[in-house]
A = this chain, B = another copy of it.
C-alpha cells in the first residue's frame, strides 16, 4: 500500500496501530464510555469481559442455540434526548434499533421485550406518546412486544423516559453473518446516504436550522436483509452504523476480521444538507450516527446482484459501493481522498453527539 497519513498529515506507524487499548486514566465514567467508540471498547475489553468471562465474537447480536433453534439475541437501551425529533422518536429507535441488531446477524426478528425506567414526575401524556410510537413501530416491523418491565426512579435521578428493548430472532440454517468473515477482496456497500439521524437529533436538540430540515433515517432493515439473502449471495458481514457512524462500524469489522478496509471518499453518499450541517458544526459525516442504514461486506462475485436488489428495496434505494476489504494494513480503515491521497479513518474515541440513541 501507499503511505498512510494520520489526520495531522504525518505518516502513521502501522505496527503500533492495532494494539489493545488500556482503560484510560479517568477514574470515573465519562460520556464517551457510551459513545460506541474506543472508550466503549475499552470498557468492554478491560472491565466487562474480565468480570463476565468469554462471550464469543463481539457483534450486534449474539447467536445462540436454544434447543434445536438458532436464536439471535440482542439488547439496547435508549436514552436519546429529546424523546421526539424530526422523523422519529425514542419509540421508533427502541424498536428499529434492536430489530436491526438482530437483522445484522441475518435473523428474522420475532419478539421484543420493553423495559422502562421512568423518572418520577414525567407526564403520563408523554409516556403515552412514547408507548404509542413503540407499538406502531413494532407493528410496522412485524415484531411482537411480548414481555416488559417498568421501574420508577425519583425525580432528578432519570430523564423522563429511558427504554430498553431486547430482541429474539430466528437464524435460518446455513446463515453465518458476522464481522469476522470479512475477507480481502470483499466489496463494501452501504444501503443509503449517511448522517441523517445524528444531524436530525442535534438540530432538534440545539434548536438549529440548516435551511433544509433533516429527518432521522430510522427504519427497520430486516426486510432489506431478507431480500439480500434471497439472492443466494454469501453475505459475509452486516453492520448498522449507529453510534460512532460508518467509521466505528468499519473499524470494528477491520479489527475483528484482522483485515484492512479502504473506502473511496467520494463514493460514500452524504446528503448535501447533512454535509452542510456537518461543515457548520465541525462534524465528520463518517462519524455521525445512522438508524436506518447498513454496511454490507460481500464477495466480489455477489456484489452486483446484491447492490441491484438493495436499490430495488425501499430501504436500500440509495445503496452504493464504497470500498473494498484489503490484506494490507490489517485492523485499519483508510479513505482515499479526492486528491488520491489516503487518510486514516480511525475509531472515534467517544461519540461526537452524546445521547444520540
Q: Which listed segment binds B: A110-118, A258-266, A333-341?
A: A110-118
Residues in B neighbouring A52, C-beta threshold 8 A? 114, 131, 134-135, 138, 145
Residues in B neighbouring A67, C-beta threshold 8 A? 68-71, 170
A113-B166 contact, Cβ under 8 Å, with A68-B68, A118-B34, A157-B158: yes
A124-B64 contact, Cβ under 8 Å, with A76-B149, A113-B75, A153-B159: no
Residues in B neighbouring A153, C-beta threshold 8 A? 34, 79, 159, 162, 355
Min Cβ gap A24→B in Å is 10
Question: In this assembly, does A74 line the interface, its C-beta being within 8 Å of a C-beta of chain B?
Answer: yes
Q: Mark A9-53, 1 if CB is under 8 A from B, else 0.
A: 000000000000001001111111111000010011001100111
Residues in B neighbouring A55, C-beta threshold 8 A? 144-148
Question: In this assembly, does A168 line the interface, its C-beta being within 8 Å of a C-beta of chain B?
Answer: yes
Question: In this assembly, does A120 line the interface, its C-beta being within 8 Å of a C-beta of chain B?
Answer: yes
As for how many copies of this chain the complex holds, the number is 2
Q: Flag if A40 contacts B147 (CB, 8 Å).
A: no
Question: In this assembly, does A128 line the interface, its C-beta being within 8 Å of a C-beta of chain B?
Answer: yes
Residues in B neighbouring A32, C-beta threshold 8 A? 152
Residues in B neighbouring A135, C-beta threshold 8 A? 51-53
Taking a contact as CB atoms closer than 8 A, the residue among B73, B111, B127, B146 that contacts A113 in the complex is B73
Q: Flag if A118 contacts B29 (CB, 8 Å).
A: yes
Q: Flag if B29 contacts A120 (CB, 8 Å).
A: yes
Measured between alpha carbons, how far is A34 from B70 in the docked complex, in Å? 34
Question: Top 10 closest A-B pairs, CB basis?
Answer: A34-B152, A166-B166, A67-B69, A51-B131, A75-B113, A69-B69, A62-B146, A62-B147, A157-B159, A51-B135
